[in-house]
Amino acid sequence: MKLAVLAPLFLSVSSLCAQGPGTLGVSEIRAGMKGYGRTVFQGGKIERFEFEVLGVQRNAAPGRSRIMVRASGGPLAETGILAGMSGSPCYIDGKLIGALSTGILFEKEPIGGITPIAEMLEQLRDIPETAPSHTPLILPKLEPPKVLKAALQGQMLDFKSLMGDQDPQALPMAMAGTPLGPEAQRFWSGWPVTFTAGPSLSGGKEDASPLEPGGMAAITLMQGDLDLAASGTITYVSGKRVLMFGHQLFNLGAVDLPLWSATVATTVASYQSSFKMAMPVAPIGALRLDRSSGVAGILGAEAHMVPMRIGLNLGGKRTQNFRFEIMDHPVATAALAATAVAQTLDAHTRGLGLQSLSMQGNIKLVGHPAIQIENVIADLNPGRIAQYLGAMLQAICLNPYEKPVFEGISLTIKAEERLDLTAIAGVRLLKARAKRGEILPVLVTLQNIQGVRETATFNIQVPSSAAKGKAILMVGDGFSLTAADPDERMVETASLGDVVRILNGAMRNNHAYALLVQAQPGAGLRGSRIEGIPPSVASLVNGDGSSSDNRLQRRIVGRALLPLEREVRGISQMEVEIE
């Protein structure tokens, strides 16, 4: 039944080829052959450039070839192959041989590589009409889950940690839009994209190029009060289906990204890698497939964007409101949201002197409680508070259970010209022994940035279920305590609902906490813990393949909270005897 329903939603290779021009296979191409390509160098006009085949690079990747050519015409003598030419269709004797897709960094003449059209048609033949309903990324279940634990410490994972080692593109895509500050640039470290220095322009001629082979198109990553878009060239059009680039965007398979028509303001010559300064003009469809040999989209379709609002309050004097729409994408959503926060703060808050930033808000998902956002940063680095938001979104977007459906992200950030910072300077117990069921008073010494100290008291309940013997009292800020891993079950999940629950229950960095931690024997059974059995019995129970199955595990048996509403740093611990 499912196959019968899905079959009409895809276009096969045979139907694509039937409606397109004739093609020439790699086996028929020889060095010295001459041909032409189509691309846009200025405005929306499609122009021809010439090329001569230098040879075919067999097995450029396993089972893949690349046709190497020397190009000429237009500005290429001065610029070399331009970023933004990716996807330019190339023809010999009127037959399509593929898409120009690679160049050479620091090249002195325009030599580039062409992705054979047969490879593009093979990988991009099944273009889904509808957006994917499942998360394209299924991360392995780590112990503990790496992404979630990083989020509980306010730390984003970089692209390499998420995706593994990837070869950089020889012709990286130019990302037109507002130039990114150093903090925002760090969020994109390792990504196969290059941010150009040129902004997305307006007010001039904005005639979009035709929606045909050689025309310019853009994939919008973010729009609103900050614009970011990846531009490239259309290779192939068949009905509502369009193929582009000749190389990957992120190589994530099924995607749902906005596709726009585009125009070229100018070409920029660079000793490293020249590029087109391209601008999105109007929405034309949605990108639905992202593979190593190119990307494919549907004209007239719509992509779902994640709405995001930031209210920025500067010292209680005035509030500025900013609105964005960002790509709904398992990997990119977190980086884009963090970029929006970092760029907003970089543009409107001071860069020298004392400053504290506090952020509150929520992330709303369909079918789940809102995820509460609460963070305080006492320094001049907007990247830390932006990274906290990105880390929360990574935990949501990269869950292996279901694709989250976003209703929106709403934030209020307040900037104060002072340092709201407190350190844990010391911890003291009035007695070293505590009985089960009683209250244990804990004295903590706090010190502010001026060196002024104050004493506060935690009253932590020792539960009657606590085991007799030694326990560890841990006092500190939420992030430091999470990093110390006081409860090894705190990141166990079986659904997106569990991820939401854990994020909402996370310890924050603007409060101090006192935790009473004990180690208890247990054994693993089908991914779950059996608590409270003797070590002699646990040693006889077969584990689940993890070395951590049959051993003592720590868990939190009591906790207390001291709200401080300023950034807290530090951790201290001591032993307590439970009677």
Residues 574, 426 share a domain: yes
Residues 379, 283 share a domain: no
Position 138 in a domain: no
End of a domain among 353, 381, 416?
416
Position 129 in a domain: no
Give the whole-angstrom CA distance, residue 485 versus residue 77. 59
Give the whole-angstrom CA distance, residue 444 versus residue 424. 7
Position 484 in a domain: yes
Position 428 in a domain: yes
The answer on pLDDT for 538 being more than 60 is no
End of a domain among 76, 92, 123?
123
For residue 34, what pLDDT is reported?
Answer: 97
Which of 267-281, 391-405, 511-525 shows the lowest mean pLDDT across its residues?
A: 511-525
pLDDT digits (tens, 9 = 90+) for 429-484: 888 788 898 998 999 999 988 889 999 998 999 998 888 899 999 999 999 998 88
Q: What is the pLDDT of the chain when averaged over all its residues?
A: 82
For residue 531, what pLDDT is reported?
Answer: 47
Residues 157, 62 share a domain: no
Which of 77-91, 354-368, 528-542 shows the lowest mean pLDDT across its residues?
A: 528-542
- Residues 23-56, buried b or exposed e (16+ Cβ, 10 A)? bbebeebeeebebebbbbbebbebeebebebbeb
Residues 531, 383 share a domain: no
Position 322 in a domain: yes
The secondary structure element, H or E, covering residue 498 is helix 496-504
* Whether the Cβ atoms of residue 302 and residue 286 lie closer than 8 Å to each other: yes
Helix/strand number for the chain, H first, E second = 12, 30
Residues 428, 571 share a domain: yes
Residues 331, 249 share a domain: no
Residues 524, 560 share a domain: yes
Residues 445, 490 share a domain: yes
End of a domain among 358, 387, 416?
416
**DSSP of 320-389:** EEEEEEEE--TTHHHHHHHHHHHHHHHHHS-SSS--EEEEEEEEEETTSPPEEEEEEE-SS-HHHHHHHH
* Whether the Cβ atoms of residue 339 and residue 383 lie closer than 8 Å to each other: no
Residues 84, 168 share a domain: no
Position 111 in a domain: yes
Q: What is the mean pLDDT of residues 315-319?
A: 78
CATH number, domain of 353, equals 3.30.1490
Position 141 in a domain: no
Domains in the chain, number: 4
Q: Strand 305-314 and strand 406-416: pairing?
A: parallel
Long-range Cβ pairs for the range 424-428 (8 Å, 24+): 424/475, 424/476, 424/477, 424/512, 424/568, 424/569, 424/570, 424/571, 424/572, 425/453, 425/570, 426/572, 427/473, 427/475, 427/572, 427/573, 427/574
Position 230 in a domain: yes
Which residues constitute the domain of residue 393?
Answer: 306-416
Residues 445, 372 share a domain: no
For residue 369, what pLDDT is reported?
Answer: 97
pLDDT digits (tens, 9 = 90+) for 38-58: 999 999 999 999 999 999 988
pTM score, whole prediction: 0.81
Residues 372, 343 share a domain: yes
Residues 295, 151 share a domain: yes
Asked whether the bond before 330 is cis by omega within 30 degrees of 0, the reply is no
